[in-house]
Amino acid sequence: MGDDLNNAQYLTQAVVHAPDDTRSNADLRVKYRNLMFSEQTTGDAVQRIVENIAQLNSKN
């Protein structure tokens, strides 16, 4: 997470190479992890993501 891809054809390659350097984009991964999962470890991440997307859609 943290790599900016402009073409979906590069997604597989990015996922394969992501573990090669765990420090790469570490700050950005922390940011997105906190946005997506917060500090909660209840297993309700999917529900929170759906609610966040629904809120974004309602703002448009």
Within a domain: residue 2? no
Residue 14 pLDDT level (bands cut at 50, 70, 90): confident
Burial letters 29-57, b for 16+ CB under 10 A, else e: beeeeeeeeeeeeeeeeeeeeeeeeeeee
Within a domain: residue 46? yes
Full residue range of the structural domain in which residue 30 is found: 8-59
Q: Quick one: tokens of 43?
A: 């297993």
Count up the domains in the chain and report the number.
1
Q: What percent of the chain clears pLDDT 70, i.e. is strictly above it?
A: 85
Q: pTM (2 decimals)? A: 0.40
**How far is Cα of residue 16 from the mean position of the Cα atoms in its chain?**
16
